Every structure is written in structure tokens, then in C-alpha cells.
Amino acid sequence: MTALLLIIVGVIILGIGYITYGTWLDKQWGLDPSRETPAITQEDGVDYVAAPRAVLMGHHFSSIAGAGPINGPIQASVFGWLPVFLWCVIGGIFFGGVHDFGSLYASIRHGGKSVGEVIGDSMGKRAKKLFTIFGLLVLTLVNASFVNVVVGTIFTPKEAITSTIVTDPTGNQTTAMISFLFILLAILYGFLTNKVGMKTGPATILCVAGIIGAIAVGMNVGIAIDRTPFIVIIGFYIAIATMIPVWIMLQPRDYLSSFLLYSMMGVAVIGVIFSTLAGTTEFQLPMFTGWTSKVGPLFPALFITVACGAISGFHSLVSTGTSSKQLDNESNAKPVGYGAMLIESALGIISLIAVGMVYNKYMAGEFTSPTAAFAGGIALMFGGETSAIYKTTYSLLTLAASVFALTSLDTGTRLGRLMVSELFLREGEASYKDATGIRSILANPLFGTAFMVLIGCTLGGLSLTQIWSLFGAANQLLAAIALMAVAAWLGDIGKNNKMFYFPMAFMLVATLTSLIMTIVGKLRGLVEGTLDGPMWGHYFQLVFAFAMVILAITLVIEGVGKVRNRLSKEEAVENPESA
């Protein structure tokens, strides 16, 4: 009954938050449906391409979701279900929703530019450069992590390969086949809707039927390729997907992927209802386990670990890097920016319930990853581990998680390409063609794409145990800085920005605390010689954490100085005698 109550209460609260707080934010910032968006005014057929609301919602949701709202809440479940549930709900409504919606709004009012441009407008050129560098560092971790996740769900160990095309495939071989077929379906959808003129509805029905067919094929015929060749294939794929127009791959792939995600959530809800009424499974997760756990003390660990289920800095990069360039009307900013975040919070709650069904096995280490625990927990609601329905459900849920990681990888690489170009362009230069000298090369989309692909795939091919632990803090620090950037800009244009103050301060304190704890722990371990694993990983963590602390403090100082200067000017205008 606990699982069913969590679903019902969570959905009700998130729904109320969308209707009330989301609408209030919309009115406070003054979104204007009659105002043309950058997708219309700057349409270029490559990055700036207006998309119907349903299609953009699919792209945005699939991109921000990835594996985050599955991995984060499951890893944080060691604190019990109550802390994670409360943070998903409260964080989604008052932190993540404000962050995502505000970032999207700021970007569409800056010509679809990134958070770095928003910072440049409100805090100066130096702050813009620092943020862009910081954002690229975070994207590097994101891409490396998702390369590792994707490859882990599709490769076949070399010693187990007898043929590239196999019958009676394993789960990874099934996922590999369906993933390739999914790419072809995305291209077909883009061609039908953009070149043939087919409407969204008929094209969707046709391609969703194609997805069902692809799943049927993949369950019977798979692809067996070793890890390293798959990394190379993924590298070529994301390089091409990043450079071609969004309507060919990014929009349709993410839109079609969203149906897998919606279906996955629907299956989970049905499973909770069925298992509750039939009494077939037991919710094993305690309400609260204590203030400390294997991931650290509840503060700051909970607020770093849950990540995408409540707030994630990566979302601001998606909102300002791709979604703002495809928004066809400002009236759609609320459902895309605020609504998608709340759906992701709901997915976080579902992930919490899933691990609760297999919590004892999860804590005993019987699952190789949070994704496996998620698939196992939901599949168990429908039947025993030896049943056909369990195996089928488990395979499909693993496929869905792999697809979402790949969509985030596509988007992350495109975001990196755009941010590299912005980093080397000067004011007034629209593209690399306007730049001169070495900057014309560094700002070229080919350079940015190659840079992101090579680093992401190289790091993704290594063990990410050492690197992944930094991603949470880096991601949440990015969220705090994005909140600060939008708040500073809203203040400059005279809009209400007070809803940003507490989320911004809280996330800054939480992430800086986490990073300082990492630095102190690594230094102590190096001095005492108690660190395990490859030493390069520990040095990497130490240097990266220290660099992020310095960047964050510098940006905060820049922001505070900007606000103080503005307040001083306002006071001088109001009290000219004291000036």
C-alpha cells in the first residue's frame, strides 16, 4: 500500500504545483504568446527549427531525463523513502521547475542563446567565459558517463561473440538491434513530417507502430559487437547527429523516445496497482534509515545524489541550448520548461518505488547497476523472476533506459558544439564565418563536435568509477550558477526574481560543501595512503573539485558585485542628494 500511496500523493502534489506555482511564475515573468520566438525569427534549418509542442516536449523530456531520474533516487534510497520522496516533490516544484522554466525563458529572450550569454548580459564578459568553460567541463562528464551507460547496455563480451547477427539474443544484443532500428525510424519520421508534409498525428502512429515492430524484431534477432568497436560506432553516430539539422535526427528521435518513457512510467504505475491489489510483492524500503549512509551524510549527499529527480544543472544547458531554439510559441514554455521537470520528478518517485520492491537484493549487491534494480523492481510486480513476463518486462525497461541515455548523449554533444563556438566568438560575430585567425577554426562546428566526441568517447571507454562521483556535485553546482544567472538578469529587466534566492543559496551551499568534503577527503587519503583504485582517478577528482570551487566562488563574487552596483545606482537615482 505504501508504494501506491506514494504514486497517488506524489502525482497530486506535482499536479497542484504545476497548476498553481507554474502559472504564477508565468504571470510574474510575463510570457507573451504574441511575441515571435527565436525559432521563428532566426530559423536556419539546422539548429533553429520550430517544432510542434508535442514534438518539442518529447525532445526536451527525453534529453533531460537520460539515466538521471533513475540512478539518482535509487542511489539515494539508502536514506529511506521519505527523504527522497520529499526532495523529489519539493525540489521539483520549487527548485528544478523554477530552474528549468527560468532558463528557457531567459534563453528565448536572448535569441535562443546559452546560459553563458545570459550571464554575459547580466554579469559581464569574464563571467560568461568562466561559466562557458565550467559548462563544458560538466558536459564532458555527462557525455563520458552516458557513453559508458549506453555501451554497457548494448555490447557483447568478445569471448561470447560467434556471429554479428544472432538469434535467441541476450538482453544487450536485443537492445543493440532495437537501438539501430530506432535511429532509422527517427530519420523516417523527420523525412515524412518535414519533406513529405505528413501531419504529426499520422506520422506518429506510423512510427510508433514501427517501434513495436522493431521491438518484436529485436526480441528475436540481435547484434553482437564488442565494447571498443561499439564506442567507435557511437562516436561516429553522435558526430553525425550533432552536425545535421535537428529535424533529421534530434527532434524525431527524442520525440519517439518519449513514447518509450511514457510507456515505461505507465507500466510502472500499472505494476504498482496490480501488485498492491494482488499482494504479490512487498515494498521493502524503510521510511528513514538515518542521517548518514554509504553515500555520506544526508546533507549534502541527498541533494547531490538525487539530481535530475529534483533539480539538475544539465537541464539549463538543454533548455538554453536546444529547446529554446525549437520553441514555436512562448505559451509552450511552461509545459516544456516547468511541466517536463515535474514529470521527471514523478519518474524519480517511480524509481524509488521500483528499488523498494527489490531493496534487500539491491543492498546485497545482487544488481549490477541502479538501472538493473529499476528494471528488476518493476518487472517483479508482474511475475516471478523465472516467468516470461518478468524477462520481457525487464528487457524492455533496460532498453528504455539505454535509449534515454543515448538521447541525452546526442543532445549533450550538440550543446558542447554550440558552447565551444560561443566561447571563441566575439560580440557581434554570428558564426565562425565572421571570426578571424585561429578563432575561425576553434569556433567552427566541426572543431567543437570533434572535441566533444573524442573526449567523451575516450573517457567513456575508461572506468568511470572515479569520474562519476564528481558528476553529481558538478551538475548541481551548475544548477546553482544557472539560478544565479537568471535571477541577475530578471533583476536587471525589473522582473520578480525573489523565487530564485533560496534555491540558489541552498544549492550553492550544498554543492560547495560536497566539493570541499571531497577535497579534504582526498588530501587526507593521499597523505595517509588509504586510497584504493587507480591513483590518477583520485588526483583527477582532487584537481577537478578544486577547480570547480574556484570557478563557483569567482562567479558568485562577480554576481554579488553586479547586484551591489545595480542597487547602488538605483539608490542614487532615488536619492540624488546622497549620491
Residues 207 and 209: their CA atoms lie apart, in Å, by 5
- Taking only the tens place, the pLDDT of each residue in 9-62 is 999 999 999 999 999 999 999 899 999 999 999 998 888 999 999 899 988 988
Residue environment code for 91-120, b if the CB has 16+ CB neighbours within 10 A, otherwise e: bbbbbbbbbbbbbbbbbbbbebbbbbbbbb
Q: Decide if 86 contacts 321 (C-beta within 8 A).
A: no
Confidence (pTM): 0.88
How many of the other CB atoms lie within 10 Å of CB of 165? Answer: 11
pLDDT value, residue 579 = 46
Instruction: Name, in order, each residue with C-beta under 8 angstroms of 449's C-beta and a sequence gap of 6 or more.
Output: 239, 242, 243, 413, 416, 417
- For residue 520, give the 3-state DSSP assignment: helix
pLDDT reported for residue 339? 95
| Contact partners, residue 572, CB within 8 Å, separation at least 6 | 578, 579
Indicate the DSSP class of residue 338.
I
Q: Which residues contact 98 (CB under 8 A, 6 or more apart)?
A: 25, 483, 499, 500, 503
Is residue 441 a contact partner of residue 103, using CB atoms and an 8 Å limit?
Answer: no
Name the residue with cell 538543454: 318
Q: For residue 167, give the C-alpha cell.
A: 538469434
Ranges under pLDDT 50 in the chain: 579
Q: How far apart are CA 321 and CA 318, in angstroms?
A: 5
Strands 221-223 and 292-293: unpaired
Q: 540 CB contacts (<8 Å, ≥6 apart)?
A: 466, 467, 470
CB count within 10 Å of CB 245 equals 16
User: What per-residue confidence (pLDDT) applies to 384?
Assistant: 76
User: Three-state SS string across 238-256, please?
Assistant: HHHHHHCCCCCCHHHHHHH
Among all chains, which residue has been given the C-alpha cell 563571467?
A: 127
